[in-house]
Structure 1
Amino acid sequence: MTALTLSTSAAAALRADAVVVGVSKAAKGGPRLAPGAESVDAAYDGKLASTLETLGATGAEGELTKLPSPAGVKAAVVVAVGLGEAPEDGAGFDPEVLRKAAGTAARALSGAKKAAFALPAADAADVEAVAVGALLGAYAFTAYQADSGKGPLGEVAVVGAKPRDKAHKAAAERAAAVAEEVNRARDLVNTPPNDLNPKAFAAAVQAAGREYGLKVEVLDEKALVKGGYGGIMGVGQGSATPPRLVRVAYSHAKATRTLAFVGKGITYDSGGISLKPPGHNETMKCDMSGAAAVFAAVVAAAKLGLAVNVTGWLALAENMPGGGATRPGDVLRMYSGKTVEVLNTDAEGRLVLADALARASEEAPDAIVDVATLTGAMVLALGDGRFGIMANDDGFRTAVHTAALAEGEDSWPMPLPQQLRKTFDSPTADIANMGVRPGGGLIAGLFLREFVGEGITWAHLDIAGPAFNEGGPFGYTPKGGTGTAVRTLVALARQTADGDLL
């Protein structure tokens, strides 16, 4: 993990491999230096902006320019990163702009031992944004590469932050804890499915439980059969590696509220008997991204000592077309007692989540949030870059959406149209696991709602789009697993602890 430090020194005076400064796009004229770059600009005799303009820099968001340092700057290289349009006089930069800029610079500095980030850091919120962006941007997954080349950036020093200021110190601690857990989720998503099966995932949770004082309970296949978890067993029975249901809980002595997070953990999804077509299998190790996010969020809550009880439920299974696999037309008896006719075995995520939601409801939490790479329909509706939010309470849906946007996680509120409910009626069972194709993401949400306990506030995050980045890296987002939803879940836990949510 990249180290994080705070520094009150002038950027030019810090010993580092590189110093990062911000450049905004002015309405008229060339690029404009952002606050934080003053000492570096002085070393250029006040000509840093004009030098950057000569090199073609405009200050556009995500633009990056490297140039050698002059005498007076102890770092060998100056890295200017674009912040986009300059804010109006007196206004600060949006936190997400700072996160993305810091992430862009950190990615460009892989292999460096230390970089000083002299981006605008007027207050604790700015400090946290710069730190989170840099730590996430520095991420690299190299566990399976014999010669990975350059390693990640070794240390991030946030210039302008005050190590002795309580607000700045707390911001840095939050940034470090949250970024580390986002990167934990990324590691899990990127791990090949031959190494991360349900049993191995459960073992990873047990190890973290011992390290952070979390209570962990693992139900193996025998316990799942005995307990009547027909959804989880139905999905996992075609695999040589049996499923697991993991409960991981953090509690605080002063907590008055409890949140339950439920994550879809399909460690590999072949589609089962309803086999996926060629070209759709290669990234299906990412189908456990929801469980990874839930696991990481619970650990983050423990690291931060939040005054809220947080219970994570990880529904872990491998969806394979083995000889014992569930067939289209089979009927499963779920943990809740309802029966489900399986019309498509590739609509498996809702089956494992249904059992976990019903079990989580028995503990009567104040709210449940489930997270899942659930439907391709949601990707078609919202694209790759944002997740959909559904809920049984409009106010809670709005609160989740607001929290997600504040953390830089693009999302959009989606409805649960009651008229679609009848489309997954079954003549054989209580309900079917499929309805009509149009609005498929909404139908999946309606299906899940059937298994939430009466009177419990619930939200569903369909993260199928942003959970795995198949394109090139950008900002603080790497190629591969992204750790989507971790920051939103942690924000919800923090707001609940502060009494601002429930």
Structure 2
Amino acid sequence: MTVPKLALTENTDAAVGKTRADVVVIGTLQGEDGLELAAGAEVADAAFDGKLAEVLGTLGATGKAEEIVKLPTLGKLPAGVVLAVGLGKRKDGAITPEQVRRAAGAAARALNGTERAFVTLSAVDLHAATEGIALGAYVFTEYRSEKGDGPLAKADLVSPAEGTAREHKATLKAAGFIAESVIIARDLINTPPNDLFPASFADRAKKLADANGLEFEVLDEKILKRKGFGGILGVGGGSSRPPRLLRVSWKPAKARKKVALVGKGITFDSGGISLKPAANMDHMTSDMSGAAAVLASVVLAAKLKYPLEVTAHIPLAENLPSGTSYRPGDVLTMYGGKTVEVLNTDAEGRLVLADAIVRAAEENPDYLIETATLTGAQVVALGNRISGVMGSDEFRDRVAGIMQATGEGGWAMPLPDELRGDLDSRLADIANVTGQRWAGMLVAGVFLREFVPADLPWVHLDVAGPAFNSGGPWGYTGKGGTGIPVRTIAAVLADIADQG
């Protein structure tokens, strides 16, 4: 785990004069009349006789989002460099947390190899700047023989003018824990499938559970067969590395509500007998992103001591073609007794999720949050940065709003009743896909709805695109696993703890 050491500091002449930082990070804005300095840059500006914006402008700085401009201080500050990062234009007259988070992330990415930075963006929003710096600094180099420049090692974050020192300390701690949990998920996603398979994922989960005082249970293939988890067994039957089902739980003494988390854990997805095209199949190492997210989220619940009982149910399988693979045309008997006709073995995620959802519902939770890299149709409909949010209407809309507020991006989508008829099977209770090309993301949600009790508020987050960044880095998001939707789940849990 690569998280910079984070500390609070004051934005005063004395504090800056004593800093041992190599770089002072300030924010810039696209103002109505040109380049502006964001709050927190006052001391650095004073060192340049109030002309810092003017000097940066001569170097081409405009303040546009994520723009990086470096300026040597020439002895005007103890740090050798001022790094100005753009926040963009104000939104409705204000700077949003996501603007700060992305700017801080862009700055952290530009500071690879830097020992220490003095960060003033936190004067605008301490929580967002902490997350942005920690996540932007993330690199995954475990499999490189030469590591290259390491990430930013330490950041001194300026305390905001508002609030008390105690409040600032609590904010820094909470934001740091959230970033660490996102990085837990990123590390799991970025681990290659020859090292991360159902049993090894379970081993890592056990270590995290033990380290954070969580209950832990693992069902192996023998127990899964005895208990009738036909979906997980069917999907995992083609691999020499058998499937698992994990249960990881945070149980405080006085829990206000019970929340079940379910995450898809396909540690590699070849498509099975319905084989995927070879191009970009390597991205399917990320098909366990939902499992990584819910595991990281229950760890976070323990670290932040949420007054909720939070239990993650994590189905793990490797979907490979072999002589023991399940086939198109097979009928699987799911946990709980419902039967499913398999028409496409590459629609495997919904099968393992269905088993886990039924088991999670047996514990009578007040809410169920499920997430998965489920459908390519999500990417077609919403792109690589916006997740599809489906489920029971009221809870769906609540979660979609929270997801947008966190900056992770989510959009409420319907589950039209008429799509259910397309899943009718000639043999079983339901088929796993339709014969139609359209509405694939919604059809998957309709399928999952069949396994959720009618009175249970639930939400399904399809993060197929957002969970894995195959393009260039941006903001606080590098290439590879993103850790979405850990921050959303954290915010939803906090909202449930507060509002019920």
The TM-score by the shorter chain falls in which range? over 0.9
| Alpha-carbon distance between aligned partners in 2 of 1:157 and 1:403, rounded to the nearest angstrom | 29
> 1:404 and 1:86, CA in 2 relative to 1: closer, same or farther beyond 3 A?
closer
Partner-residue secondary structure (3-state), 2:421: helix
Larger deviation: 63-72 or 465-474?
63-72
1:151 to 2:150 alignment = yes
| Alpha-carbon distance between aligned partners in 2 of 1:314 and 1:127, rounded to the nearest angstrom | 33
Q: 1:100 aligns with which of 72, 88, 102?
A: 102
Residue aligning to 1:26? 31
1:46 to 2:50 alignment = yes
CA contact (8 A) 2:216 2:247 kept: yes
| Alpha-carbon distance between aligned partners in 1 of 2:48 and 2:311, rounded to the nearest angstrom | 54
Cα displacement (A) at 1:283 = 0.8
1:105-150 CA-to-partner distances (Å, cap 9, x unmatched) read 000001111111112525xxx1101101110001000000111201
The code of the aligned residue for 2:168 comes to H
Cα displacement (A) at 1:272 = 0.2
| Alpha-carbon distance between aligned partners in 1 of 2:202 and 2:236, rounded to the nearest angstrom | 15
1:222-279 CA-to-partner distances (Å, cap 9, x unmatched) read 0000010000000000000000000000011121201001000000000000000120
| Alpha-carbon distance between aligned partners in 2 of 1:253 and 1:454, rounded to the nearest angstrom | 29
Q: TM-score, normalised by structure 2?
A: 0.97
1:6 to 2:8 alignment = yes
Q: TM-score, normalised by structure 1?
A: 0.96
Residues 326-341 of structure 1 correspond to what in structure 2 (within 5 A)? 326-341=326-341
CA contact (8 A) 2:11 2:43 kept: no
Residue aligning to 1:198? 198
| Alpha-carbon distance between aligned partners in 2 of 1:118 and 1:104, rounded to the nearest angstrom | 14
Partner-residue secondary structure (3-state), 1:300: helix
CA contact (8 A) 1:250 1:301 kept: yes
Residues 79-478 of structure 1 correspond to what in structure 2 (within 5 A)? 79-86=83-90, 91-119=93-121, 121-122=123-124, 126-161=125-160, 165-392=165-392, 394-435=393-434, 436-478=436-478
| Alpha-carbon distance between aligned partners in 2 of 1:280 and 1:149, rounded to the nearest angstrom | 26
Cα displacement (A) at 1:402 = 1.4
CA contact (8 A) 1:22 1:120 kept: no
| Alpha-carbon distance between aligned partners in 2 of 1:248 and 1:19, rounded to the nearest angstrom | 42
Residue aligning to 1:70? 74
CA contact (8 A) 2:122 2:128 kept: no
Give the ranges of 4+ consecutive aligned residues of structure 1 lying more than 4 Å apart after TM superposition. 161-164
Partner-residue secondary structure (3-state), 1:283: helix
| Alpha-carbon distance between aligned partners in 1 of 2:497 and 2:78, rounded to the nearest angstrom | 43
| Alpha-carbon distance between aligned partners in 1 of 2:424 and 2:115, rounded to the nearest angstrom | 60
| Alpha-carbon distance between aligned partners in 2 of 1:289 and 1:375, rounded to the nearest angstrom | 13
CA contact (8 A) 1:62 1:82 kept: yes
1:65-110 CA-to-partner distances (Å, cap 9, x unmatched) read 011113331111110000111466xx54100000000000000001
Partner-residue secondary structure (3-state), 1:84: coil
1:5-30 CA-to-partner distances (Å, cap 9, x unmatched) read 111143743220111001101112x3
Q: 2:41 aligns with which of 37, 40, 58?
A: 37
The code of the aligned residue for 1:62 comes to E
> 1:400 and 1:86, CA in 2 relative to 1: closer, same or farther beyond 3 A?
closer
| Alpha-carbon distance between aligned partners in 2 of 1:137 and 1:120, rounded to the nearest angstrom | 14
Larger deviation: 149-158 or 348-357?
149-158
> 1:358 and 1:46, CA in 2 relative to 1: closer, same or farther beyond 3 A?
same
CA contact (8 A) 1:468 1:479 kept: yes
Cα displacement (A) at 1:161 = 4.2
The code of the aligned residue for 1:412 comes to W
Fraction of identical pairs, as percent? 54
Partner-residue secondary structure (3-state), 2:287: helix
The code of the aligned residue for 1:371 comes to T
Gaps of 5+ in 2: none
Partner-residue secondary structure (3-state), 2:252: coil
Partner-residue secondary structure (3-state), 1:360: helix
1:139-171 CA-to-partner distances (Å, cap 9, x unmatched) read 000000111201111112111348962221111
Q: 1:17 aligns with which of 6, 19, 22?
A: 22
The code of the aligned residue for 2:483 comes to G
The code of the aligned residue for 2:111 comes to L
| Alpha-carbon distance between aligned partners in 2 of 1:87 and 1:266, rounded to the nearest angstrom | 39
CA contact (8 A) 1:36 1:160 kept: no
| Alpha-carbon distance between aligned partners in 1 of 2:470 and 2:380, rounded to the nearest angstrom | 16
The code of the aligned residue for 2:145 comes to A
| Alpha-carbon distance between aligned partners in 2 of 1:32 and 1:87, rounded to the nearest angstrom | 15
| Alpha-carbon distance between aligned partners in 1 of 2:405 and 2:165, rounded to the nearest angstrom | 23
The code of the aligned residue for 2:463 comes to I
1:29-57 CA-to-partner distances (Å, cap 9, x unmatched) read x3111111111111111111111111111
Larger deviation: 341-350 or 30-39?
30-39
Larger deviation: 9-18 or 69-78?
9-18
CA contact (8 A) 2:236 2:242 kept: yes
| Alpha-carbon distance between aligned partners in 2 of 1:454 and 1:46, rounded to the nearest angstrom | 63
The code of the aligned residue for 1:472 comes to G
When the two structures are aligned, how many residues end up with a matched partner? 493
